[in-house]
Amino acid sequence: MSVSARRRTPRDQRRREYGQNLLADGGVVERLLPRLDLRADELVVDVGAGAGALTVPLALAGARVLAVERDPAMQRELRAAISRAGVAARVTVQPADLRRVRWPLMPYRVVANPPFGLTTALLSRLLDDPAGALRRADLLLQAEVARKRATQPPTSLHSAAWAPWWSFDLGERVDRRAFRPVPRVDAAWLTIRRRDPAVLPEWLAPGFADAIRPRWEAGANARRPRR
């Protein structure tokens, strides 16, 4: 058994089981909050809420928070943190997997440090249907993934398919040592905003990726260096 494995606590083991690297550096949150431009009583969804590193500060800042967490043990830690902070009236804990959670029907935004391995699944659920109520998302993702999504012009079919309805901005890079357990790579904030007005009508979104796929793949093939 390796030294690092011997040092892992049961809590660390659960985090790895659920694929979550939890934010443990409060300074990252302190720097984030002023950039969010939160309005009083704004509805914010924290996906992969963990022990409340984002949930509690968001509630203290005046937001109404829907905290989504699927690990039962972590849910207990989350509820305890919410109680200690005195923000139980502003937070709803929803035991759910982000791949199946029901998004609010009223306008909302997402502020989250989701499991890195579920990034694509989360983005697809949030962005594939621009007719939903999402207005903005601030996500702490693997740095390379955040950079790729923010690159203009888009460098992936997913990003190109979302671009008519959403804009992407790369934010602060976060050192990997800010997380527990420590991941192998750094992270970065990705801010996604709804375009107003959108480039295309919402009804074109279903099937849009399939519609542009042939041209996208032809362009990708043309860009590949010839041997």
Domain ranges of the chain: 3-223
Percent of the chain with pLDDT over 70: 88
Q: Which residue has the tokens 């905290």?
A: 67
Residue 126: CB atoms within 10 Å: 21
- The distance in angstroms from the start CA to the end CA of the chain is 45
pTM: 0.89
pLDDT tens sequence across 122-164: 999 999 999 999 999 999 999 999 999 999 999 999 999 999 9
What fold, for 3-223? Rossmann fold (3.40.50)
pLDDT band of residue 215 (cuts 50, 70, 90) is confident
Q: Is the peptide bond before 153 cis (omega within 30 degrees of 0)?
A: yes
